[in-house]
Amino acid sequence: MKIRSHTLLFKDFNSKWYKKWAKELKQDKDHLDNHVLRANKFWQNAIIVQALWERGTLYKGACGIGFGVGQERLPSLFAKLGINVTATDQNSTTTKSEIWAKHELATGVLSLNKLGICNPKIFAEKVEYMSVDMTKIPMKLRNTYDFLWSNCSLGHLGTTEAGLNFIRSSLECLKKGGVAVHTTELNVLSDDMTIDNGSTVVFRLQDINNLFRSLTRAGYICSPLKFFLGRDQDDFRLSMQPTYGNDYSKIQVGGYISTQAVLIIRRPKHPSINNIIEPLRLYMLSRTYKKGLAEIKKFSKINPVLKQLLASQNAPLDKISIKPLNNLLKVNISTGQTKVIFIEFRSNSAVNLYSFYGHLINTPPVVLATDNPRDHESIFADNGWVINSKNRPSSDLWVKNDEGKYCKVDRILPQQTFAFKVRLNASGVAKGSYLECFSIVQEGYDWVKETSVNLQITVI
C-alpha cells in the first residue's frame, strides 16, 4: 500500500521503507549531524523519498527540484540514483537568512553532499544550485520537473497564506504526471486558533483541506490527509521547549502544539479523465477532514499531558498556590565573580505551572522577579536573566532527579517541589552586604501571593 498524506507516527521508524532509506541517507549513529536517531527531520527525509519512489518518479535520468533545501541529504541521494537535481534555497547573504544560517541554510552546492552520500564526481554532474525566493518562483522553472519537494520550509515564509500559495505555485514546475511532496507543521489542538504569521507558522487542518479542495477542482490529484496522532507512548510525548534535531512528534511552537505531516500531490497525465472522478475525490477529502476534526478532539482527551495543558489555560489565580521552602537565603559571592544558586519552591496549585519559554497561548507562565520594591533593576543582574532583563532573574524550571541533581523540565506538576536557577553577577559590585527580594509572577496576570524570598548577599 502506497504512502499517503499523513501525520508523523513513531511506528514509521520501524517500517521496512524507513530503514531502507535511513541506510541510504546515512541516518545512523555515526552521522547524526546534531540530530537524534529518531529525529522528526529524519522521518521527513525518508518519507519524502518513499512517497516519490512508490509513484515511479525516482528513475535514472529524471529531473527533480527541491525548495528551501538547507543542508539536506536528499539532493545527494537523488543524485546517487542518477537523477538530475536542482537544489534551491534563499539567498544566504540576505538579512532574512541569518536566523537559519547555523544549521539550516544552504550556502551552495558543496554544502549538500558533506556526508558523502553520493560520489563527488557524480554529484557535481547531477546537482545544480540556485538561489530562489519561494514566494517568487521563476517562470523558467515551470513545466520542467518530474518531481519536486520541500522539507518543512513552507512554514517559514512569513504567513500561512504565503506557505499555501507556495504549494500552488510550485506545482507549476511539474510536468504532466509529476509529483510534489511537502512536509510541514500542523496544529494538534485546534482547527481554529493558530500562529499564522512570523518566522514559523503552524497550519491548521482546515488550511490543508481547503488547499486540497481547490487543487482538486483545478485538476490535481491530492492524497487525502490522514490526520491520526497515534496511540503509542512515543506519540503521546511532547516538548514544550524543542531543540534542533529533537525526536518529539508533538512540539510547542509559538504557544501552540504542532506535529509534522507529509502532503502528496500529483499533476495528472490526462486532465479530462481526472475531471470525471472529481466529485469522488472531493467526497474523500471531506470524509478525511471530518475524521481529522474528530481526532483533534479525541487526542486532547486521551493524552494526559495535553489534558493538563488545556486545564492550565485561563486558569484562575486562586488555583495558583506556591510556597518557598525557605524565606531567607544567605549567599556569599566574590566581587567581580558570578554564582549560580537554586531558589526552591513547592507547588500546591491545582494546575501545572509552565515556564516563560514553554507555555501555551492563554497560559500565564511563572517567572521569578525582583520584589520590594517591585520590578526594580538588580545590581546583580546577569546576561543569563530572562530576555536580558534586570528584574527577571529566571524562568527555567528545575526539579531534582533520583540522584539529587537538578534537571530542567517543561512543566511543574501539582504538589511538586521545584526550583528557579538564578545566576548572580557581582561584577562592579562593591564589597558589603546586600538584600534582594524575589517573588513569583504569573506573567501578564499578577504576582503570586506569599512567594517572597529574601537573599542576604555578602560580597567579599
Whether the Cβ atoms of residue 61 and residue 82 lie closer than 8 Å to each other: yes
Q: Which three cell numbers stand for residue 31?
A: 552521522
User: Is the previous residue joined to 242 through a cis bond, with omega within 30 degrees of 0?
Assistant: no
Same-domain pairing of 304 and 322 = no
Q: Which three cell numbers stand for residue 181?
A: 511532496
Q: Tell me: the pLDDT tens digits for 241-266?
A: 898 999 999 999 989 999 999 999 99
Whether the Cβ atoms of residue 351 and residue 315 lie closer than 8 Å to each other: yes
Residue 105: which of 119, 91, 116 has the closest Cα? 91
Whether the Cβ atoms of residue 126 and residue 87 lie closer than 8 Å to each other: no
Q: Higher-confidence residue: 57 or 94?
A: 57
Whether the Cβ atoms of residue 355 and residue 397 lie closer than 8 Å to each other: yes
Find the mean pLDDT for residues 193-222. Answer: 96
> What is the pLDDT at residue 270?
81
pLDDT band per the 50, 70, 90 thresholds, residue 90: confident
* Residue 109 predicted with pLDDT over 50: yes
Indicate the average pLDDT of the chain. Answer: 93
Find the mean pLDDT for residues 348-367. Answer: 90
Same-domain pairing of 343 and 225 = no
Asked whether residue 114 is assigned to any structural domain, the reply reads yes
pLDDT band per the 50, 70, 90 thresholds, residue 316: confident
- Among 108-112, 174-178, 308-312, top mean pLDDT goes to 174-178
C-alpha distances in Å from residue 69, one per residue of 121, 141, 152, 356: 21, 16, 9, 32
Same-domain pairing of 332 and 291 = no
Find the mean pLDDT for residues 189-195. Answer: 95
> What is the pLDDT at residue 93?
53
Last residue of a domain, one of 255, 285, 309: 309
Go through the chain and tell me how many residues it has: 460
Burial of residue 142 (CB within 10 Å: 0-12, 13-18, 19+) is middle
Q: How far apart are CA 125 and CA 155, in angstroms?
A: 31
Q: Higher-confidence residue: 354 or 276?
A: 354
Same-domain pairing of 275 and 322 = no
Same-domain pairing of 299 and 339 = no
* Residue 336 predicted with pLDDT over 70: yes
Find the mean pLDDT for residues 179-197. Answer: 96
* Residue 38 predicted with pLDDT over 70: yes
Asked whether residue 1 is assigned to any structural domain, the reply reads no
* Residue 98 predicted with pLDDT over 70: no
Residue 388 belongs to domain with CATH number: 2.60.40.10
Q: Which three cell numbers stand for residue 372?
A: 520590594
* Residue 102 predicted with pLDDT over 70: no
Same-domain pairing of 49 and 119 = yes
Residue 292 belongs to domain with CATH number: 3.40.50.150
Find the mean pLDDT for residues 130-149. Answer: 97
Find the mean pLDDT for residues 106-119. Answer: 83
* Residue 274 predicted with pLDDT over 80: no
Same-domain pairing of 230 and 107 = yes
Last residue of a domain, one of 309, 343, 371: 309
Find the mean pLDDT for residues 44-55. Answer: 98
Percentage of the chain beyond pLDDT 90 is 83
Q: Tell me: the pLDDT tens digits for 288-301?
A: 999 999 999 999 99
* Residue 116 predicted with pLDDT over 90: yes
Q: Give the up-direction half-sphere exposure of residue 44: CA atoms within 13 A in the CB hemisphere.
A: 26
> What is the pLDDT at residue 99?
46
* Residue 447 predicted with pLDDT over 80: yes
Beta-carbon contacts of 115 under 8 Å, excluding residues fewer than 6 positions away, are 26, 31, 33, 73, 76
Angle, CA of 133, 163 and 282, to the nearest 5°: 135
Asked whether residue 331 is assigned to any structural domain, the reply reads yes
Asked whether residue 86 is assigned to any structural domain, the reply reads yes
* Residue 451 predicted with pLDDT over 90: yes
Same-domain pairing of 305 and 321 = no
Asked whether residue 226 is assigned to any structural domain, the reply reads yes
> What is the pLDDT at residue 445?
87
Same-domain pairing of 106 and 63 = yes
Name the domain count of the chain: 2
Q: Helix/strand/coil (H, E, C) string of the chain?
A: CCCCCEECCHHHHHCHHHHHHHHHCCCCCCCCCCCCCCCHHHHHHHHHHHHHHHCCCCCCCCEEEEECCCCCCHHHHHHHCCCEEEEEECCCCCCHHHHHCCCCCCCCHHHHCCCCCCCHHHHHHHEEEEECCCCCCCHHHCCCEEEEEEECCHHHCEEHHHHHHHHHHHHHHEEEEEEEEEEEEEECCCCCCCCCEECCCCECHHHHHHHHHHHHHCCCEECCCECCCCCCHHHHCCECCCCCCCCCCCEEECCEEEEEEEEEEECCCCHHHHHHCHHHHHHHHHHHHHHHHHHHHHHHHHCHHHHHHHHHCCCCHHHCCEEECCCEEEEEECCCCEEEEEEEEEECCCCCEECCCCCCCCCCCEEEEEECCCCCCCCCCCCCCHHHCCCCCECCEEEECCCCCEEEECEECCCCEEEEEEEEECCCCCCEEEEEEEEEEECCCEECCCCCEEEEEEEC
For 335, the domain range is 317-459
Same-domain pairing of 353 and 333 = yes
Same-domain pairing of 264 and 345 = no
> What is the pLDDT at residue 97?
47
Asked whether residue 397 is assigned to any structural domain, the reply reads yes
Q: How far apart are CA 375 and CA 29, in angstroms?
A: 47
Last residue of a domain, one of 309, 329, 347: 309
* Residue 105 predicted with pLDDT over 50: no
Asked whether residue 58 is assigned to any structural domain, the reply reads yes
> What is the pLDDT at residue 50?
98
* Residue 411 predicted with pLDDT over 80: yes
Same-domain pairing of 252 and 367 = no
